[in-house]
Structure 1
């Protein structure tokens, strides 16, 4: 039995980390839970080959020469030169072995050994390490050989923390497990064949999305042709009107019938344009809301998915606006209802699928100014969203909740409770481990931090732990995503309005660090850094809190490329088909409109008296460029 498990362990160890990490962790967790501690120990030992063990031992012992001798023998040069992650790992390994004597200084002091390692590091910087000298992440480390005591320098003292060493060792082990492996076992072959089937399904989904995109492209192409035709007609009518005006000036009579004919042509052109976009049929929202709350979880998810699709898949312009206004007028989320069970109350659901689609719908609402105005008036909504963000373990739900909160942060009325709930501290703590976050999460997190730091209360909250905030932001400045770096620049520019933050930054030699980034080739980024340095060295006092706000009248990005986790079963209705089959509104069922009046009742009903009061917010606040 034990031999079979060991053979299975060896096979699992050969699976690339991107495929095997989840099943490997699951297997180890099960074996530990079942009490097979000796099996777990054997599993971890035997899944490593001798070369891996030697490299890890050399790493732990600080034996630089022996480590790189084994490294050169077993790691192909092509992998390190072509793979950015491998080159990055090799760079940090050289840093580690250089500072080992300083790390062990309390145990045994050997200045001669440290001098030799510094010389070796300089040689590496001039040869293989030269390839990284233009990369922002690694640029500050080229100053290491010239720092008298790196253990106390603000830029390098993090290298001597146990957490940094543990993270580097973990990256090394993952890399070695991936690169140094025996022949491909049968288990991997079976796993890859299953994975290929999974990829095939994803390709089919992408083909469906491509088909939908082509339909939209054709629609807009036809619309463009119609606009060109109507534009030509308008020019002709304008020319006729000019001739009539000239004739009138010359004293000639212009026939009323002639003017009436021109008016009729203009009116026909306007009607043709308004008929181009068909409106979606109205729905029975009372029945819809009752079924979302009262049905089983799957039915509720299908309805939430369909409502979200109706908003996100509708055509931009009048059609999408009519859908959004219908949702708001009918209080789709039941934010103002006195009932014990409401749609918005599903944010407290223990079912992950229900929670996922509730957050998706709210995120779609938050993509529009009118939608944010509606959400901002629901008293319990923001508190529920922030609880989900801080407590939810599901990464997909957390990410979509973050998107919704970031969009809501465009409104001043929502910024205040976010700041008071210490959301800034939570964001900074999340961002300090940026390697574990997706680019999308990083982008929305830094954008949210920027929005909150534009407020005086937000800047003061950052000033309470300025050193920690500045350290996290300077680490993010080296990120390859330019959007993330711009948000970080904006946050730095905002919090440097606080004198105490500037003083803390000067103690950390912040200007010298920023100067390293001015050497990059991006002129806009370098110019932003220049403004930050200028503000850092200024004597500007913090501006008082302003009550003036700009109007929240802009729509923001609405994400379409979401992987659907809810797939229809055989014979199950989804999307618009589900809505128009089971929830068609009474007006849509009974009204037969004339061809020129086929419009959704949501566009026919007056919105007077139903409009939500719009709040204010600070949007698109940028660095002076």
Structure 2
């Protein structure tokens, strides 16, 4: 009762507002009279005056954005305050929205005194084209709108006869009048009582909760099926084990009477005990006549490393919607999406789950490496937001940490150029530079040895740069400089150039100052410098790509997810919850195997070259 009394004034006002909305005039008079008689005050905050005022402000902002040609502001307000049921439900709203897109697409052509800004105009035309290909496609069969689908492809729409009407002085004012009438009608209809709004919101929350519970039920059923399969497998193994045990007991009893156990019988028993995958190979490769061989192989089959984990595949995503929001969304949304996509990759379980995630990213060209459009996800490297730039750099570095990801990225020369450009221009964020540098270093794992011959053309310059970098104040780069020197000195022409410039004397200067590891690496470089081997990279075969694959390891570094710049606020979605709530797609995970070069080729301790690691990784203990 105390809670009711504390909010009694507001509750009574809600009732009064609803009675007024529903036009219960007599009931409202009696209700107001009785409240007055009992001394029950009615709060004025629940009335429609505040909503009316807010509606007017929104209408004015929309009209101002229309007049100023501010496309982004207008459609942000439009999508936020005009209900989707209204925008998508009636032909009047769809037609008006179509003409509004045309208005903003040609705004610069009509209001620029001189030549319009080319980049801004291209962006507007691209936005209109995207609308035509997505939401606007519904009107493509309407004769009234069919000519306008050619607008983005006409070089000069102002002189084209099909679009003559659009550039008349009366066209925009008439469209503005239609917009004002539409907004007045919409906002008048949307001034529903707060009591009704609360009821609808409660129903919507129940619906969302029901959907979440349904999704959880599906997931629980999937896990139940997986556990049932494992149970059936364990039960079958148990029955098999009991049968084998019974046979072995019979055999032991037979040995008491002098009957010998043959190797063939022992082999048949062991084959039954091994898993299906091992039976055929082990049955023909193991010598069962040697004592202890069978038992050793059986114990090895039970080693912890052979335990299989039942790791579920992650839900598929709507990548078309994802990429659209990565391009057109707010900077905060872009950052959260880039973070969530990175987490999905870095926190996935190595094996089928991670391979499926990466496969989906590549198949849907998540980073637009194969796209030639002016607006692409790659353009986020040039974003004004340092958070967006850093988070895209982290995602690219995560791609580059995996062999298939490196292959995907390295196929795009535009990607490499943009990374190089960002590395040179980035002066605000150290983490961004480190992740870009880490990604570029990992691309070198896929380079064929013959690429080093490019250095032979400018041997003097390359050697001078590398010798200068040996004395750089940032000691983290020294292993990379050493590796580069060791590598290119395998080419005779570069060795001759290095000897001519006195490279050995330069290297010995650093031996006096370096630590034990640095001294060891420089000694290898000097040994390479004085080598007389005539093996030249030019003679290397294209088949070396296969050798590159053998050393193309997958290592996901912990630095990729450290020191996050953004944290979700109360009620704000992030991570996997953001992806599965807003961007859930059709289930397309097939789990097909991808070709992976995972042969464990280990380098000798005498070799100075190792796999590149993101520079920031050295701070957390990653060895070079």
Global fold match (TM > 0.5): no
TM-score normalised to structure 2 length: 0.43
Kindly name which structure, 1 or 2, has the bigger radius of gyration based on alpha carbons. 2
